[in-house]
Structure 1
Amino acid sequence: MRLLALLAVVALAVTGCADSDPARPGVLTAGIREPATLLPADVTDQAGRLVTGALWTPLADYDPATGKVTPRAAESIESTDRVRWTVKLRPAKFHDGTPVTAQSYVDTWKVVAAAQWASSVVLTKLLRAREITASTPDTITLTLDRPSGQVPALLSAPGLVPLPASALASRDWAGFAKAPIGNGPYRLDGPWRPGAGGTLKRVGTGKAEEIDLRVGDPAAQYDEVKAGTLDLATEVPGEKHDAMHTDFGDDHHATWALPRAGYLAFPVTNPRFADATVRHGFALGIDRAALEAGPLAHQVDPAKALLPPADAPGERSGTCRPCSFDAAAGKALLQQASFPGGATVYFAPSSEAWARTLAVGLHKSLDVSVTAQPAPGAADGPSTVDISLATASPYELLSELASVSGYTDEVFRQNLALADAAATPEEAGELYRLAENQLLRDLPVAPLWSGHGHAVWSSRAHDVTTTPFTGPVLAGIGVS
C-alpha cells in the first residue's frame, strides 16, 4: 500500500495535476487555444491578441462608436493642423529593464512598415506618414502626407506597440515570439511552451499576481470551468453555445464583438454583375442564420449592417435591407435584371466550409445554378471575403471592401477622404456613415456575418471585461 501511495504521488508530480486546482491565492488560471504567434505586429487570432494584450500596453484605446480615445502608454496624442502630430509618452520600461523611448517606437515602426506583417498596412496604407522621428526621448513626431484626424485611432492599433532594442538588433522574430518582452502589466515568466502555455507575472497594475495560461481544447476547458478546476475559458465551442447561458448565468459569461467580418464581394467590372439589381438579388438570397447555426458554429452574428459592431462609428440607424433573407424578392430582382443564370462562388481555403454552404443555399433560394470553387487568380464570379482588422478605424475596412470588389466610385472615394481628414469624431462618423450607406446602395460587397467571442468564468474570477482586440482583459480580472 505504501508503494502504491508513493507511485501515486510521483505520477501527480510528473503530470502536473497538482496545478489543476485554481484556488491558489492571487493566481488566475485561464484556458486558451495555441496562439499562432506572440509577435504583436503579426497577431490576428484571438488567443494571440489575448496574450499580447497582457504583455504590451498600446499607445491608446479607441472606441469607434464614440470616437473617444483614451491615452495609455501615451500621455497625449495631439495636432493643431492634422498633418503634424505629437505623441508624448509616459515613463515606462520594457520587461528586460530597458527604458521605452520615442526611439523604441520609431525603430519598431520602421521594421513593421518594411515587413509583411498583419499590422504593416496600418503604417503603409492608413497612416501614410512622410516622416516619423523621436524629437525628444519621450516625444514622437509624425508628419503626414495629408491632413488626417484618424491618427489617434490608428496609433491605438495593438500591433503598433514597441519592441526592445535587443529584438530589433537580432531580427530573430521567431525566437522573440517564443520569449516576448513587452511594456505591459504582465511579463512572461520563461519562454512560451507550445501545446502547454505559459505563466504571466504581474509587473504593473494587473489585479492577479500571476496568470497561468493553459493551452487546450475549448470544450474541455469549458467543462473544467464548470467543474471549478479552471477560472476562465476564453472560447466556447458551438456545441456549448446554448448551454452557456444556463450553466453560467448572465454574470459569469460574456460575448463580445471581434474585429472580423465576412462578405460576398462581387466583380463589379464583370458585365454579369455590373448591375446593382443583380447584386441585391444575390444578397437577398443568402440565409445568414443558416451559416451562423451551421458551418460557422455560433461563432458569428448574422450581419445587420455593412460595418461590424467592432468597427461601427456611432449609433446605427435604419435597417440593412441587403442583410435580409428574402428568397422571393431575390428571385424577382434577378428576373427583373434578366440575369442569365449560373454563377460560381469562389473561396479561400479557410472559408471553404461556409462558402460551400452559402453556394448551396443560393442555388435553392434563387433557383439558379450556383457552385463553389477555390479562388483562381482572377475570379469571374462572387468571392467570399473573410477580413480581420488591424485597427478599429472604419477607414481601414471601408477602403478594403472597395478594393476587393474593384469599386471605384468617385463620390465614395471623396467621402472616405473627407472622413479621414475630418477634424472631429462626430464629423468623421457622419461621413463614414455616408460612405457605408453608399456601399449598401451600390452593393459591391454583401455583408454576411461579424465575428464574436465567448468566455465563461467561475465564481472565483470577478471584474471580467472584454474589448474587441483583446477579448477578456486579463489585467483587469481579479481572483478571490
Structure 2
Amino acid sequence: MLNMIFTGLVAYDPKTSKANNAMADSITSSDQQNWTVTIKPGWKFSDGTTVTAKSYVDAWNYGALVTNKQVNASFFQYIAGYNDVAPASGSPTAQTMSGLKVVNDTTFTVALSQKFSTWPQTLGYSAYYPLPASFFNDHAAYLAKPVGNGPYVINAWNRSQNMQLRPNTGYSGTNKPQNGGIDLKVYTDTNAAYADLQSGNLDVNNGIPNSALKTVQSDLNGRFINEPAGIIQTLSFPLYQPGWSTDGAKLVRQGISMAIDRPTISKVVFTNTRTPASDWTSPVLGASGGFKEGLCGQECTYNPTMAKQLIQQGGGFPGGQLTISYNADGPHKEWVDAICNNVNNAMGDTKSCVGRPVGTFADFRNQVTGKQMTGPFRTGWQMDYPLIQDFLQPLYTTGASSNDSHYSNPQFDSLVSQANAEPDQTQAVTDFQSAEKLLVTDMPAIPLWYQNGTVGWSSKVSNVMLDPFSVPVYTAITVK
C-alpha cells in the first residue's frame, strides 16, 4: 500500500530492477560521500500541499530518531549524525541528523559517514519517502487516512478488512494508473482467496496457496506467473559457538551445503516455486547488478560423497548431531526434514540430523538475536532495494544489523568498503563479488534457494506482472 500512495526520489523498473530518478531531478556527489539532492518542482501531496526538500529531511529525521521507535530507523545509519539520534543507549543527544541540510525548497544535502557510491539507488525504499506537514501536525488523523504523493490516494479504509485506492488526479509521475482504482481485500484464509479468484470475485491474487500450485496453471487457464523474486533463503550457523568457529568447522559447513539436494527439494517440496541457489544474492539483480549464477561452485552443488568426506575431515558435527532450528508456526518442517534426510543419507546414519522446531516466529527470533542457537538455523532475506550491497553488507559485515551468524572477516569488510567507495558501478559490483567469494570458503550461511513470486489473475484483467519484490505492478493492470 505504501508503494501505491507514495513515490520516492527513485523508482525501480519492474522489468530490469534498474533505479531511475522519479521525484529526484538529480542526485550528485564528487566524492561518493557528500551528496546533493535536487527534486522536481511542482509535485504535490494528495492533500494539495507541495512536496519540498523539507518534506524529505523532516521525514528522514523522524524515521531515524530512536524515541519515535520506527522499525526502519536503521536505513538512515549511513547518514552522519545517526548515532546521535539513535544511540544504543536509547537516549539521543540530538533530535536531528547533522548530515541533513535543507538548502532551498527543491534542494537538500546529505553527508554520509562513509563513502557509498550506490547510495542513490537505495532511495526507492519506503523508509525514504517524503511526509507532508499533516503527518507532524495531526498525527492521529494522518494515521487514520495517510496522505502521500504517489499514483493512488486512499478513498476509504477499514482496518484489517479492505482499502479503496483511487487514482491521484494530481499525480506528477510517469507511472499513472491504467485503471480506475484498486480495492484491496484482506483474507485470513489463502484457500478462500483462491476460491474467489477462480469464481471471478477476486481479480488478482499473489498469495496462491501451496495446495493449489500443482493445478494453478489449468485452474486459471495459464493466467499465472511464477518467477524468482528478490528473496533468498539460507541456513545460518552460530559462529559465536566454539564448536562452529574452528577451521575444521568450515569444512563441516561446506559439507552440509554439498549434502543438500536443492533441485529435488525445490521441485518436490515447493512445486518449483523455489529456484536452487548458487550464490548469496538473487537472479532479479541480473548480471550487471551483481547476480552471478554458480558463484558458489561445487560447495553449493549436490555431492553426498564429497559431503561426507568434508564433514568427517572437519571433525564431524559439533555436539555429535546436527540440529536445524526453525519456527514451527511457519511452513518449514517439510523442507527441514528433507534437508535432514539428505544429510542422513550422505552420512549413512538416520540420526545424524534432526529438525528443531521453535514455537513461534517471535520466540525463534528472540533465540537468534539472543545468541542462543547451538546449530544451524533458518534465515531468509528479502531485498530492500535491488543492489548486491543489500544482500551482503547488512548480513555479513562485522557487527551488521542483520548478521545473525555473527560472521566476521576483516578482508570481507575491507572489500565491501572498497566497493562502496568505488564510483564506477561495474567495478563496484566486481569488488562486491570478490567479497562474496569469501563466503564460499567461510560458509557462515548456506544458500538454499531463491524464493519465487507468484500471482494469478482473473479473465477480467490483463497486463499483470510482478516487480522485483514479487509485488504486482498495480498501476499497469488494465480492465478488459
Q: Deviations over 1:400-441 (max 9, x none)?
A: 332322222122111111111110221111111111121122
**Are positions 1:97 and 2:53 aligned together?**
no
Paired with 1:305 and 1:383, the residues of 2 have a C-alpha distance of: 18
Paired with 1:455 and 1:330, the residues of 2 have a C-alpha distance of: 37
1:353 — aligned with what? Answer: 332
**Are positions 1:343 and 2:322 aligned together?**
yes
Structure 1 pair 296–126 and aligned structure 2 pair: CA distance change class (3 A): farther
**Are positions 1:302 and 2:276 aligned together?**
yes
Q: Deviations over 1:11-32 (max 9, x none)?
A: xxxxxxxxxxxxxxxxxxxxxx
1:268 — aligned with what? Answer: 239
Question: RMSD over aligned Cα, in angstroms?
Answer: 2.9
Shift of 1:181: 1.5
Structure 1 pair 453–314 and aligned structure 2 pair: CA distance change class (3 A): same
2:427 — aligned with what? Answer: 427
Mean alpha-carbon deviation: is it higher for 288-297 or for 147-156?
A: 288-297
TM-score by length of 1: 0.80
2:292 — aligned with what? Answer: 316
Structure 1 pair 126–138 and aligned structure 2 pair: CA distance change class (3 A): closer
1:166 — aligned with what? Answer: 134
Paired with 2:11 and 2:468, the residues of 1 have a C-alpha distance of: 11
Secondary structure in structure 2 of the residue aligned to 1:390: coil
2:474 — aligned with what? Answer: 474
Q: 2:191 aligns with which of 215, 219, 232?
A: 219
Q: 1:396 aligns with which of 367, 390, 396?
A: 390
**Are positions 1:208 and 2:179 aligned together?**
yes
Structure 2 unaligned regions, length at least 5 = 83-96, 359-363, 397-402
**Are positions 1:189 and 2:168 aligned together?**
no
Equivalent residues of 1:295, 1:353 under 8 A apart: no
Equivalent residues of 1:232, 1:458 under 8 A apart: yes
**Are positions 1:242 and 2:208 aligned together?**
no
Structure 1 unaligned regions, length at least 5 = 1-50
Mean alpha-carbon deviation: is it higher for 186-195 or for 408-417?
A: 186-195
Structure 1 pair 55–262 and aligned structure 2 pair: CA distance change class (3 A): same
1:32 — aligned with what? Answer: none
1:416 — aligned with what? Answer: 416
Equivalent residues of 1:108, 1:163 under 8 A apart: yes
Q: Deviations over 1:121-156 (max 9, x none)?
A: 221158968511221111121111222212111212
Secondary structure in structure 1 of the residue aligned to 2:63: helix
Structure 1 pair 470–380 and aligned structure 2 pair: CA distance change class (3 A): closer
1:282 — aligned with what? Answer: 256
- One-letter amino acid of the structure 2 residue matched with residue 421 of structure 1: A
Shift of 1:213: 1.9
Structure 1 pair 226–234 and aligned structure 2 pair: CA distance change class (3 A): same
Secondary structure in structure 1 of the residue aligned to 2:332: helix
Paired with 2:114 and 2:16, the residues of 1 have a C-alpha distance of: 24
Shift of 1:304: 2.8
Secondary structure in structure 2 of the residue aligned to 1:112: helix
Shift of 1:94: 1.5
2:399 — aligned with what? Answer: none
Paired with 2:38 and 2:202, the residues of 1 have a C-alpha distance of: 40
Structure 1 pair 79–470 and aligned structure 2 pair: CA distance change class (3 A): farther
1:69 — aligned with what? Answer: 19
Structure 1 pair 118–99 and aligned structure 2 pair: CA distance change class (3 A): same
1:123 — aligned with what? Answer: 76
Paired with 1:351 and 1:290, the residues of 2 have a C-alpha distance of: 21
Secondary structure in structure 1 of the residue aligned to 2:191: helix
Structure 1 pair 220–411 and aligned structure 2 pair: CA distance change class (3 A): same
**Are positions 1:145 and 2:130 aligned together?**
no
2:34 — aligned with what? Answer: 84
- One-letter amino acid of the structure 2 residue matched with residue 253 of structure 1: F
2:405 — aligned with what? Answer: 405
Equivalent residues of 1:419, 1:427 under 8 A apart: yes
Paired with 1:64 and 1:460, the residues of 2 have a C-alpha distance of: 22
2:224 — aligned with what? Answer: 253
Specify which structure has the bigger relative contact order, considering alpha-carbon pairs within 8 angstroms and separated by 6 or more residues: 1
